[in-house]
Each structure stands twice: as C-alpha cells, then as structure tokens.
Amino acid sequence: MSTYTPDGPSLVGVLGTPSTPTAAPTRRAHEIAAAQPQARIVSPTFSGVARRVDVGVASYGLPRGYRPVHAEDHALCYVLDLWGVVHVLTEAGELVGLSPEILAAAKRKYFPDS
C-alpha cells in the first residue's frame, strides 16, 4: 500500500495534489487558474489520434509520442510533448500561462526521466 507524500512547496496549493481532494475537478481547474495570475483555461493546444486520455468527464486525443501522466486525484493530467514541454489538462480544457517554475516542478515530479 502506498503512502501519500506531500508535494514540494512549489506545487502545494497550485499544481500539487492534496491528500484528500477538496474540490471537483472542474472547480479545481478554475482554482488553479485563479492562483496563477496569467493562467487561463483554453481548448487544448494539440490534438491527435494516436492515444486518448480521460480527465474527469472529458477525453482528449494525443499525438504520437506525447506522454500523459495523471495527478494522484485524476483531476489533472500532465502531458509531455515531443519538445519537452509540459501541458496541463483538466476536464475543462488546458491550463495555459502557468509560470515556468510551476511547469518545471511538474516536469521534475511527473517526468523525472526527461
């Protein structure tokens, strides 16, 4: 049985996953967007047919070579593209405009081999 380990301070309350989810996935996406001044939710900036990933009630097509990883509560899905850029998907759409520090922390946590 796995034990929950809190995220580092750079992720807590923004892209971190609480030990007990406190909000529905859609609400949580809006909370994250509100916590990052430049962040907003848009339609995904990519699409494809190589693979599908479900986030909440939404389903997104991924291009070949894109790697998805779900957060522990499945409210978020992190996708690493072919150029090493991390995309954050929610059931409401893609979060864009997140700070480089937050995206770098998410990349270190969810894609440590990249």
Each residue's pLDDT tens digit, 33-57: 666 667 789 999 888 999 999 998 8
Give the number of domains in the chain.
Answer: 1
Question: Is position 94 within any domain?
Answer: yes
Domain-embedded: residue 20: no
Residue 54 lies in a domain: yes
Assigned token pair, 16: 């971190």
In a domain, 18, yes or no: no
CA gap 79, 81 in Å, rounded:
6
Structural domain contains residue 45: yes
Is 95 among the domain residues? yes
Highest-pLDDT range among 6-10, 26-30, 100-104, 108-112: 108-112
Whether 105 maps to a domain, the answer reads yes
Domain that holds residue 43: 25-110
> How would you class 79 by CB atoms within 10 Å of its CB: exposed for 0-12, middle for 13-18, buried for 19 or more?
buried
Q: pTM of the entire structure?
A: 0.69
Does some domain include residue 97? yes
